[in-house]
Structure 1
Amino acid sequence: MAFSGKYELESQENYVEFLEAVGLQNAKTDHKVVTEVLQDGNNFTWTQTIPNWTWSNKFIVGQECELATMTGSKFKAPVTMEGGKISVQFPQYHFTAEIVDDKLIMTCITPGEKGVTFKRINKRI
Structure 2
Amino acid sequence: MAFTGKYELESQDHYEEFLEEIGLLNAKTDHKVVTQVVQDGNHFTWTQTIPNWTWSNNFTAGQQCELATMKGVQFTAPVTMEGGKILIPFPEYRFTAEIVEGKLVMICITSGEKGVTFKRISKRI
**Global fold match (TM > 0.5):** yes
Percent sequence identity is 77
Task: Give the AA of the match of 2:9.
Answer: L
Paired residues for 1:17-96 under 5 Å: 17-96=17-96
TM-score by length of 1: 0.97
1:118 maps to which residue? Answer: 118
Task: Give the AA of the match of 1:30.
Answer: D
Over the residues paired in the alignment, what is the CA RMSD in angstroms? 1.0
Instruction: Tell me how far 1:112 sits from its aligned partner.
Output: 4.8
Task: Give the AA of the match of 1:33.
Answer: V
Instruction: Tell me how far 1:34 sits from its aligned partner.
Output: 0.3
Task: Give the AA of the match of 2:30.
Answer: D
TM-score by length of 2: 0.97
Contact 1:16 1:29 in 2 (8 A): no
Contact 2:6 2:124 in 1 (8 A): yes
Q: Distance in 1 between matches of 2:112 and 2:43?
A: 32
Instruction: Tell me how far 1:41 sits from its aligned partner.
Output: 0.2
Work out the number of aligned pairs and report it: 125
1:38-69 CA distance string (max 9 Å, x none): 00000100000000000000000000000000
Task: Give the AA of the match of 1:115.
Answer: G
2:99 maps to which residue? Answer: 99
Instruction: Tell me how far 1:8 sits from its aligned partner.
Output: 0.2
After the TM superposition, which of the residue ranges 38-47 and 107-116 deviates more from structure 2? 107-116
1:11 maps to which residue? Answer: 11
1:55-92 CA distance string (max 9 Å, x none): 00000000000000001110000000000000000000
